[in-house]
Amino acid sequence: MKKKAKGKRPVYLQNPEQDQLLAIALALAGEVSVLRERLDTMEKIAQTKGLFTTAEIEAYQPSQQVEQEREQWRAEYIARVLRVLQEDEG
């Protein structure tokens, strides 16, 4: 369950808009860091087990269902990243 802080968001920089931009950048950095670590883990396991090659990854063509699943994930991801803007509006 996600928790939401009580009270107003503190302002660390010169104005709230700069703080929002910083929060978005930090959220993206966190997401990229987690993604990179998981991808590295998967590639190392696959290489160890001989499951697939880099060429196979590059040649992969996703199905329509996979494309739809990715689009849904992308929309949810963007909503998470931009959450700070929506919270401050409400």
Confirm if 45 and 53 have CB atoms less than 8 A apart: no
Q: Is residue 64 part of a domain?
A: yes
Does 11 map to a domain?
Answer: no
How far apart CA 25 and CA 46 sit, in angstroms, is 31
Domain of 28? 16-89
Q: Does any domain span residue 1?
A: no
How many domains in the chain? Answer: 1
Residue 43 has pLDDT above 70, yes or no: yes
> What pLDDT score was predicted for residue 61?
96
2 lies in some domain: no
Average pLDDT, stretch 48-70?
A: 92
Predicted TM-score (pTM) of the model is 0.57
